[in-house]
């Protein structure tokens, strides 16, 4: 379960990434900032029952798996 401190941290990180996405002009940077914001929000909402370190690790592993699938689709 996320502590109040962890919630504040992840909310602040999500807000910062959304702000950076809105100010970026490079489409790749915009996508990355939105992806990071999405991860922080997922940790806040999906990781409520697990410690934040495990929530972050699980989301990172999920992202890596999706990235591998995306690379396979691009290389076809």
In this structure, what token pair is assigned to residue 34? 């939105």
pLDDT of residue 22: 96
Q: How many domains does the chain have?
A: 1
Contact 43, 55 (CB under 8 A): yes
pTM exceeding 0.75? no
- Sequential pLDDT tens for the chain (76 residues): 788 898 899 999 999 999 999 999 999 999 999 999 999 998 888 765 555 556 566 666 665 666 665 554 444 4
- What is the pLDDT at residue 29? 93
- Domain containing 11 equals 4-74
Tokens for 24, please give them. Answer: 């970026």
């Amino acid at each position: 379960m996320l502590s109040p401190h962890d919630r504040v941290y992840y909310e602040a990180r999500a807000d910062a990434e959304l702000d950076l996405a809105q100010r970026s002009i490079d489409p790749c940077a915009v996508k990355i900032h939105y992806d990071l914001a999405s991860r922080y929000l997922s940790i806040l909402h999906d990781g409520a029952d697990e410690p934040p370190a495990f929530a972050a690790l699980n989301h990172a592993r999920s992202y890596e798996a999706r990235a591998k699938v995306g690379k396979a689709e691009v290389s076809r």
